[in-house]
Structure 1
Amino acid sequence: MRQIDPKEKRLIAFLALAGGVQLSLPARQRVWVVNQEMGSIRADYCPAGCRVLSVASHEFEDDDEVPIIASLLLTEDGRFGELDFWKINDEPIISWPVAPSL
């Protein structure tokens, strides 16, 4: 487990805005890395069996021009649950997606 990174916070804020949800992360949000190659993270209070629902997704392009889908998932009570990444060729992500300016 580790502290959430500022770039992850920015991407979560971007996806929350895109999904029309209000979301505030605790100042010291801790996360589990659930997929090292893709960079997916899950909130410390959201174990593997925790039900999460997708509220927003956005497509980015990796350095090799292969699309990456980033998805924001919330817990049933509306808290941050997971930031999930999927590169459509299932290869490791080369360059982490950067949220567009808000």
Structure 2
Amino acid sequence: MAALRAIREEEKNMVRAMLQHIGADEAQYPISSQVSEYGDPHMGSINFDNDRPDLYDGDLVQCEYSDEDGENVVLSLTKDAEGKLLDLDFWKSNFTPLVKYPTPEVVSYKQK
């Protein structure tokens, strides 16, 4: 696993907004103060200091936005089988680094 670092405020804000969208909050899904980045740090995906990715138990919520280069980006907030946040995964359609990190105001939510 990659080195841990402090979670950024913009990441926390995005996770809080995604949880709020599904009627959940930090009491139900605590947000770790330490995260690790997956792969290229400019891609946005983080793990919530959860060393058991094998316990992946699905997406809590997905949203999307258009990055400043016009490319579509999908964000998935996932949980593990123990009910803890696993990761915030970014998927950009052309696999290039994020130009601008999203804010809750610019995303639209996918229907489940």
Q: Give the TM-score, by structure 1 length.
A: 0.83
Write the deviation string for residues 60-96 of structure 1: whole angstroms up to 9, x where unpaired: 1111111111111112222221011011111111111
Partner of 2:18: 15
Note closer, same or farther for the CA distance 1:46–1:53 as it changes in structure 2 (3 Å cut). Answer: farther
Q: Is the 8 A contact 1:23 1:80 kept in 2?
A: no
SS in 2 for 1:100: helix
Write the deviation string for residues 1-30 of structure 1: whole angstroms up to 9, x where unpaired: 10111110000011111223333435x611
Q: Is the 8 A contact 1:55 1:74 kept in 2?
A: yes
CA distance in 2, matches of 1:49, 1:4: 22
CA distance in 1, matches of 2:15, 2:51: 16
Partner of 2:110: none
What is the Cα deviation at residue 52 of structure 1?
Answer: 4.1
Q: Is the 8 A contact 1:32 1:41 kept in 2?
A: yes
Q: Give the TM-score, by structure 2 length.
A: 0.77
- Match among 31, 35, 40 for residue 35 of structure 2: 31
Q: RMSD in angstroms over aligned alpha carbons?
A: 2.0
CA distance in 2, matches of 1:53, 1:82: 10
CA distance in 1, matches of 2:18, 2:6: 20
Report the residue type matching 1:60 in the other structure.
Y
Partner of 1:92: 97
Report the residue type matching 2:6 in the other structure.
Q
